[in-house]
Amino acid sequence: MEIDYSNIRVIGFDADDTLWVNETYFREAEEKVGMLLSHFETPNKIDQELFRMEIKNLPTYGYGIKGFVLSMVELSIELSNGTVSNKIISEILRIGKDMIDKPVQLLDGVEEVLISLSKDYKLILATKGDLLDQERKLEKSGLNQYFHHIEVLSEKQEANYQKLLNHLDINPTEFLMIGNSLKSDILPLINIGAKAIHVPFHTTWQHEKVERNATNGLNYKTVKSLREILNFFKQN
């Protein structure tokens, strides 16, 4: 079935792994921590435990690099039975600061798509994570000029999007969300009657994965690269 985008007035973009590389940096950091802790546990076990620790701390720390670093410090103490060296903990803090200072690497086609869509639509950035991290990345990206508004959400659930739409004073049918996470950028939007286009990134954090059958019967498009989106709008 063709999806009709003719009502759309505002387009929301996810940021991490939709506009720029993010998850890759977390994976790299996890690998480095795995190396640092490698004489306490096997790489597999460290991976599992790091995920468990992050999920345990998510309600307290939320998303973003700082909570991730705090979880890694906590894990290093736990996995080493309280014997990890100050040197390793300092290294973990350093890995975190390096993540924060990483340059922003735009994904293919991003600027072209934003230039084109910003002519006819109000574009907003709707991201979750740490406010300062996200503002800094937007600044470094040079993409600020295309967005009317940046919205950092503490969670990306139906209620958060509903509030955002109220704030933008538009109907769900007038909003299109574009992002790489089925769980955060697609399903909640479809469920509140908005439109969504899925642009998968090659790496997905376990926490963002959903069962295939959670999406059964839901009406959204998947594209291989951001650039493909322009086709739908040229046809309208």
Interface mask toward its own copies for 88-127; x: CB under 8 A: -xx--x--xx--xx--------------------------
Contact, 34 vs 43, CB < 8 A? yes
Closest to its own copies by CB, 6 vs 60, is: 60
* Polymer length in residues for the chain: 236
Q: Is 147 helix (H, G, I), strand (E, B) or coil?
A: coil
Spell 2-34 as b/e; 16+ CB within 10 A means b: eeebeebebbbbbbbbbbbbbbebbeebbebbb
Q: Is 86 in the site for its own copies (CB under 8 A)?
A: yes
Kindly identify the residues of this chain, within the stretch 159-178, that bind its own copies according to CB under 8 A: 167
Among 152, 165, 177, 196, binds its own copies (CB under 8 A): 152
Tell me how many residues contact its own copies (CB under 8 A): 32
Interface mask toward its own copies for 47-66; x: CB under 8 A: -------------xxx---x
Q: Is 132 in the site for its own copies (CB under 8 A)?
A: yes
Nearest residue to 181 (alpha-carbon basis) of 162, 151, 156: 156
Closest to its own copies by CB, 87 vs 202, is: 87
Closest to its own copies by CB, 52 vs 167, is: 167
Q: Is 25 in the site for its own copies (CB under 8 A)?
A: no
Q: Is 157 in the site for its own copies (CB under 8 A)?
A: no
Q: Is 225 helix (H, G, I), strand (E, B) or coil?
A: coil
Q: How far apart are CA 28 and CA 49, in angstroms?
A: 16
Sign of the alpha-carbon dihedral angle for 135, 138, 139, 143: negative
Q: How far apart are CA 180 and CA 15, in angstroms?
A: 9
Alpha-carbon Rg for the chain, nearest whole angstrom, is 19
The site for its own copies (CB under 8 A) is made up of 60-62, 66-67, 69-70, 73-74, 77, 80, 82-87, 89-90, 93, 96-97, 100-101, 130-132, 135, 149, 152, 154, 167
